[in-house]
Amino acid sequence: MGYDTMKERRQLAKELDEKQRQLRQQKQHDDWLADSVYPSLYTHYSKKPIDPKLIVFASSKSEKMPHTMRSLFKMLTDKGYTCRFFGVPAAFKNRKAEHDYYKEFFAAYGVCKCLYIDDIFAPVYCVEPRPGQHVVQLWHTPALLRKAGYAIGKRGVAGEIVDRRLVHKNYTDVVASSGYVKNTLASVFNCSEEIIHGWGCAHTDVYFDDDFIRKSRHDLIRLVPNLTSQIGDKKILLYAPTYRGESGSAYTHRMLDLLLLKRLLGDKYVLLIRMHPLIQDGSLMTGDLRDLVYDFAFEVPQSVPIDTTLCGSDMLITDYSTILFEYSLLDRPMLFYAFDFEQYTRRRPLFYDYATFVPGPIVYDSAQLADAILAMPETYNSEKMRHFRKKFMGGCDGHSTERIIHYTVKK
């Protein structure tokens, strides 16, 4: 027994040493890119004149274009601009492939009129844009509920990233969903409120398109596996919680009693479950449970557009997710399932007092959730939702894409 224990300890120590070695190598590589590769590439390519018709989009989260950029990309392309998108692979095949990617990116960035990003994007923080260029942070959520970036300080993973990379430097413009949220964005990005503009978020324009909204229910039913045969005339509940843990090891919870909800709600509702995109392997339904709730609970694939998912649903159930900001544009009921509020907010503090901030009832277990759903729409406070929407989403009016282009490309 002692021998096995000692052997296991040695193996664990060896694995830990190897992981630390890999982390040191990655940091050295990142520093080399930031201090040498990025600046030299930008200096080389920025010697050419700016191309007023070249617009660059870049995202560090995916190889595919995120929904936050699509309306801008389409409208600019339709107006005759040359638009290029650079998505970062989850992992480069080798160092040569990585260098070729950044060489191609900087060849475009060095001469473009405008660069749009929607999250942290390391090359931006290592070189200042030349006069006449715009570097625009769209951000991937309309507004913020949980503290992040510099607002956290040196706590947790976000703080470590801030210290190591000095992120959120060199923006010429930051897009905000309303003037009210400028102060929270300024604290997250450690920037002046003068560069933050309440132009509204381009991807929210679709929430003002009546034809799109009418079509969304049909599209959602068609795109969610097995839903067509079970939906009938039932209303659609959407459960869309945020993740738990850290972004690199995100996980979900299983604190929703689906059998109880089916028994109490199944004759009038179906429940769609949309996991946060950071959760790779997570489901609220496992084993026999899936067979027991097959006609009530359905999982929404990540391939289904989030705007279609929201516009096609009759009621949103969430927790601390910023998805509530977009859903508020639809003037539909929201419920907040905050069973782990104390535990969650100790790890991820919020900008606002949750009890007064959310525009809908807060519940703490599945029975309370079912009661609150059945009490709708009689208890729905449309006036409170209108006030919330004006405060946090006041810049979103269906014309944000045009406004952003006017101020960042045409001027």
- Summarised one tens digit per residue, pLDDT across range 23-71 is 788 778 888 888 889 999 999 999 999 999 999 999 988 889 999 999 9
Is residue 156 pLDDT above 50, yes or no? no
What is the percent of the chain where pLDDT is above 90?
73
pLDDT tens digits for 190-215? 999 999 999 999 999 999 999 999 99
More confident residue, 394 or 11: 394
Is residue 1 pLDDT above 50, yes or no? no
At 169, give phi and psi (nearest 5°).
-90, 160
Q: Looking at this protein, which amino acid is placed at residue 181? A: V
Tell me the C-alpha distance between 352 and 364, whole Å: 19
Is there a cis peptide before residue 123, judged by omega within 30 degrees of 0?
no
Output the DSSP codes for 325-360.
HHHGGGT--EEEE-TTHHHHHHHS-BSS-HHHHSSS
Query: Tell me, what's the pLDDT at 11?
Result: 79
Query: Tell me, what's the pLDDT at 251?
Result: 64
Tell me if 129 sits within 8 A of 172, measured CB to CB: yes
Burial class (CB in 10 A: 0-12, 13-18, 19+), 90: exposed
pTM, full prediction: 0.90
Tell me the C-alpha distance between 243 and 257, whole Å: 18
- The four Cα atoms 119, 121, 122, 123 give a dihedral, to 10 degrees, of -150
Closest CA to 214 of 308, 301, 299: 308
Is residue 2 pLDDT above 90, yes or no? no
Residue 244's contacts (CB-CB under 8 Å, 6 or more residues apart) are 250, 251, 252, 253, 340, 344
Domains and CATH numbers, the chain: 27-200+399-410 (3.40.50.11820), 207-393 (3.40.50.12580)
Tell me if 258 sits within 8 A of 293, measured CB to CB: yes
Q: Which of 41-45, 121-125, 173-177 has the lowest mean pLDDT?
A: 121-125
Is residue 218 pLDDT above 90, yes or no? yes
Question: Which of helix, strand or coil describes residue 282?
Answer: coil
Phi/psi class of residue 349: alpha, beta or left (left: φ > 0; alpha: ψ in -120 to 50)?
beta
Taking each helix axis as running N to C, give the angle between helix 38-45 and helix 95-109, from 0 to 180 degrees, rounded to the nearest 10.
Answer: 40
CA atoms within 13 A on the CB side of 178: 17
Burial class (CB in 10 A: 0-12, 13-18, 19+), 399: middle
Is residue 249 pLDDT above 90, yes or no? no
Query: Tell me, what's the pLDDT at 164?
Result: 53
pLDDT tens digits for 304-354? 999 999 999 999 999 999 999 999 999 999 999 999 999 999 988 999 999
Query: Tell me, what's the pLDDT at 34?
Result: 85
Is residue 5 pLDDT above 80, yes or no? no
Query: What are the C-alpha distances in Å from 345 to residues 122, 174, 188, 358?
Result: 28, 27, 17, 15
Structure tokens at 64: 């595919």
